[in-house]
Amino acid sequence: MDILSLPFNRRIGLARSDRADALLSLPDDPSYGNHLGTVHAGALLALAENTSGEYLLRAFPALPFPVIPVVRRVEAKFRRPARGAVHSRADTPAPALAEFLSTLLARGRSRIEIPVSVHDTSGTEVLSATVEWYVAKAE
């Protein structure tokens, strides 16, 4: 699956980040603006959710069976107003990834939490989030 090919993501202009330390990005565009002249919370949340999905796809590029992944929960904290282009990154400790995969292979379903951070053009962290995914074997 290519995250960028999903209709919603094409509509919002989601892109792979050109920064080595980031996964995805949204460009500096007034269409992402809110009533304060900064990047809208919805745009930041969409970026965070998609970043967690992209991270999972990269962490598990080939599973032995098809799966259906769905977001179960998102917890986010808006840390600072975002200005300009925004870039995101995600990281999960190796033991959590191993436990997720072990459970998925044994039970056909598993959950995993993916921490995500979003930074604006200045490098300021503007949002931190944890996205919980439920992944089940497709039937």
Per the structure block, which two tokens stand in for 29? 């565009």
- State the pLDDT at residue 62: 94
pLDDT tens for each residue of 37-54: 999 999 999 999 999 999
pLDDT tens for each residue of 106-138: 999 999 999 999 999 999 999 999 999 999 999
For the stretch 31-50, what's the b/e string if a residue is b when 16 or more beta carbons lie within 10 angstroms of its beta carbon? ebeeeeebbeeebbbbbbbb
Topology classification of domain 3-137: Thiol Ester Dehydrase; Chain A (3.10.129)
